[in-house]
Structure 1
Amino acid sequence: MFENSERTDIAELGEFGLIKHLTENFKIRHESSIKGIGDDAAVLNFDGKEILVSTDLLLEGIHFDLAYVPLVHLGYKAVQVNLSDIYAMNGVATQITVSIGLSSKFSLEAVEEIYKGIELACNKFNIDLIGGDTSSSKQGLVISVTSIGYVDKKDVVYRNGAREGDLLCVSGDLGGAYLGLQILEREKLIFLENPNIQPDLEGKDYIIERQLKPEGRRDIVDLLAQMEIIPTSMIDVSDGLASEILHICEQSGKGCNLYEEKIPIDPVTYETARELGLDPTVCALSGGEDYELLFTIKQEDYPKLKNDVDISIIGHITEKNSGCKMISKSNMVHELKAQGWSAFKG
């Protein structure tokens, strides 16, 4: 994957030369970025705002497979999954730091591809790259991104603010990223058995993109602000809808009713699940990596967003003793269980 007629060994540049080479085209956009890369620490000034900080770690073989993940997409995704945490606090992301651990198989050109993806994300979401670190790695590629942002104190949203009667809402559609991963894994196995067979991804563009190039929902944060809605609780959907709903309910000390028929599932996601012998609802509940925003709102805010096609009302919050329930399409009541992705599965 890394074959290149013009391969440059990273050791030729050294650590500081590598950092300078990879980051020299990144521009500073925000007044809050007083000092970016080039000193012992970055200097930021947010003029009394509530500061938000989040960190994510991506490990080769655990979080991504370079057999089918292009490096430019990996760089983009590494930033996106981190920005999503800031948006889930109803905040605006403004800066990131990026640290990478590289094994000897990576040439300079390969690392440039990763940073090309990082730069694309910075340009699209108006982010300053202000620092990071590089190191050698014996365990493959490691990427750690820290995102920094801000929010007015009156607008910050936590997971623990859901109240009885609040409406449960989610942006976009769910399950696509998981189904995209299943298709990529299937084609990888076919390729390993017969390298002469080309991948069959026809008609799967949407779900493949949902897996390889997710988009943090900054637009939903902006939309809610325009509607003058401050959610009572919010979380991003990284580990599956069921897991995230349970986080909100547990931290808020509440129960919920989730309605299966209201869960937004794209037609390609639905058809692919059936094609693979999977239940589309289970994929949405437990698949993860959709990076949509799950949030609760007061009932009086319902008229403000009821006509928005990108937000679905999927249930409501109940008192704690009612438990967390899903009402199926056949009107059966099931206990909602988290079966999503775990960072420490064996």
Structure 2
Amino acid sequence: MFDNSETTNISQLGEFGLIDHLTKNVKLYHPGSQKGIGDDAAVLDYTGKKVLVSTDMLLEGIHFDLAYTPLKHLGYKAVQVNLSDICAMNATPAQITVSIGLSSKYTLEAIEELYEGIYLACEKYRVDLVGGDTSSSKQGLVLSVTVLGYADEADIAYRNGAEEGDLICVSGDLGGAYVGLQLLEREKLIYLENPNIQPDLEGKDYIVERQLKPEARQDIVELLKSMGVKPTAMIDVSDGLASEVLHICRQSNKGCNVYEEKIPIDPMTYETAREFNLDPTVCALSGGEDYELLFTVKQADYDKIKNDVDISIIGYVTEPAAGCNLVSKSGGVHELKAQGWNAFKK
């Protein structure tokens, strides 16, 4: 995904030269970022707020494939998947640190492209890059991002707060990232068999972007606050809808009914899944990487959210003895099972 002609070897700069080069134009957006890059540690001030921290690591060959992932998109996505964790707590992301491990194949220009995506995400979400680390790597590219956020204690939404009768809601639409990944993998295989054949992604922009350039749903957090709605439980959809619903139910000690016909699936996702002989509902339930927000709200909040086009009510919380169920379009009741991403599956 990068051209090594007329490029700069990172060894010419050294570690500190590389850091200085990449961070010389860093902008800070939060007054709470009292000291960013340039000292032994960042100094942050969260007066009167609770601080939230989350970390994600992305490994080349495990979490991303550079055969079809532009480095700029990778940098952007690495930030987004972390911001999403803070949004899933009904909080506001404010600062990040970025650590990277690089093999000798990466040039300065390639890493600049990666950081373009990181800075684009920071600018869009008004998040401050305040630190990080660089290291050599013999296992390909390693990206580790830590995000810090803040919220009033009363606003924080955990996974264990769902109550019987609560409505189960999800933002956006589901399954697009997984179907987009299937499309990219197919085009990669075709290219490897015949490099003269160019990738055919025409008309599939939306699902490709859902995989390569996801967006953390901070807008949903702000929307709910403007509506006066406090989620009783919340999680982001990183491992598939079924897995996330089960997380909330288990940690809240509750059951659920989720209705297949209510699960939001974009027409492009639906049609492309069918082209691959995949069940669109299974893609939504088990695909993952959509980074939408799944949350529960009290029934009293129904009138506040019912007409919002970006929020779908897909079911409700039940007593634990009722179990966790998926109600099919035909009315059949089936046990809801998680078949999503397993980080240690061989």
| TM-score normalised to structure 1 length | 0.99
Q: Once the 2 structures are TM-superposed, how far is the Cα of residue 4 of structure 1 from its aligned partner?
A: 3.4
For the residues of structure 2 that align with 1:125 and 1:234, how far apart are their CA atoms? 20
How does 1:202-221 map onto structure 2 within 5 Å? Answer: 202-221=202-221
3-state SS of paired residue (2:16): helix
Cα distance in 1 for partners of 2:6, 2:39 equals 31
* CA–CA separation in structure 2 for the residues paired with 1:27 and 1:312: 36
List per-residue Cα deviations over 1:184-239 (Å, max 9, x = no partner).
Answer: 00000000000000111111110000000000000000000000000000000000
Amino acid at match of 2:250: E
What's the counterpart of residue 334 of structure 1?
A: 334
Secondary structure of 2:219's aligned partner: helix
> CA offset at residue 3 of structure 1?
1.9
User: 2:134 and 2:182 mapped to 1: Cα distance?
Assistant: 32
Q: Deviations over 1:129-159 (max 9, x none)?
A: 0000000000000000000010001100000
The whole-number CA distance in structure 1 between the counterparts of 2:165 and 2:149 is 31
Runs of at least 4 residues off by over 6 Å:
none
* Corresponding residue number in structure 2 for 1:132: 132
Q: Give the match for residue 64 of structure 1.
A: 64
How many angstroms apart in 1 are the aligned matches of 2:330 and 2:155?
39
Aligned equivalents of 2:151, 2:138: Cα separation in 1: 39
Hey, what's the Cα distance between the residues in 2 that align with 1:76 and 1:25?
A: 17
Aligned partners of 2:295, 2:308: CA distance in 1, in Å? 15
Partner of 1:167: 167
Question: Secondary structure, in 3 states, of the residue corresponding to 1:339?
Answer: coil
Q: Name the SS of the counterpart of 1:206 in structure 2.
A: helix
Q: Residue 147 of structure 1 corresponds to which residue in structure 2?
A: 147
What is the match of residue 253 of structure 1?
253
Secondary structure in 1 matching 2:183: helix
| Deviation, structure 1 residue 5 | 2.8
Task: Give the deviation of 1:28 after TM superposition.
Answer: 1.2
Q: Secondary structure at the match of 2:143?
A: strand
Other-structure match for 2:110: 110
Moved more, 264-273 or 22-31: 22-31
Distance 1:285 1:253 in 2: 21
> 1: CA distance between counterparts of 2:34 and 2:163?
40
Letter in 1 for 2:274: R
Identity of aligned residues (%): 76
State how far apart, in whole Å, the 2-side matches of 1:313 and 1:330 are.
19
* Code of the aligned partner of 2:231: P
Give aligned pairs, total: 346
Q: Distance in 2 between matches of 1:179 and 1:211?
A: 8
Three-state SS of the structure 1 residue aligned to 2:177 is helix
Distance 2:60 2:25 in 1: 26
The 5 A counterparts of 1:271-290 are: 271-290=271-290
Deviates more, 1:21-30 or 1:253-262: 21-30
The answer for unaligned runs of 5 or more in structure 2 is: none
In structure 2, the residue corresponding to 1:270 is in which secondary structure?
Answer: helix
Q: Which residue in 2 is equivalent to 1:77?
A: 77
Structure 1 distance, partners of 2:100, 2:337, is: 35
Equivalent position amino acid for 2:108 in 1? L
Q: CA deviation at 1:243?
A: 0.2
The 2-side partners of 1:309 and 1:290 are apart by 17
SS of the aligned residue for 1:326 comes to strand
CA distance in 1, matches of 2:330, 2:6: 60
User: When the two structures are superposed, what TM-score results if normalisation uses the length of structure 2?
Assistant: 0.99
- SS of 1:115's equivalent in the other structure is helix
CA distance in 1, matches of 2:6, 2:148: 36
AA aligned to 1:261 is: E
Greater displacement, 3-12 / 291-300: 3-12
Q: 3-state SS of the aligned residue for 2:216?
A: coil
Q: Is 1:50 aligned to 2:45, yes or no? A: no
Q: Which residue of 2 aligns with 1:157?
A: 157
**Structure 1 residue 26, shift from structure 2 partner:** 1.1
What is the distance in 1 between the residues matched to 2:212 and 2:26? 23
1:241 is matched with 241
For residues 212 and 24 of structure 2, what CA distance do their matches in structure 1 show? 26
Residue identity opposite 2:235 in structure 1: I
Cα distance in 1, alignment partners of residues 38 and 198 from structure 2: 45
Q: What is the CA-CA distance between 1:178 and the residue it aligns to?
A: 0.1
Stretches of structure 1 that go unaligned for 5 or more consecutive residues are: none
- Residue type at the aligned position of 1:299: Q
Distance (whole Å) between structure 2 residues aligned to residue 285 and residue 29 of structure 1: 37
User: What is the distance in 2 between the residues matched to 1:6 and 1:26?
Assistant: 26
Local SS of the residue matching 2:231: coil
1:301 equivalent in alignment to 2:312: no
Aligned to 1:256, the other structure's residue is in SS state strand
State the alpha-carbon separation in 2 of the partners of residues 205 and 28 from structure 1: 32
Give the deviation of 1:6 after TM superposition. 2.2
| Cα RMSD for the two superposed structures | 0.5
CA deviations 1:293-324 (Å, max 9, x no partner) are 00000000010010000000000000001000
Aligned to 2:292: 292
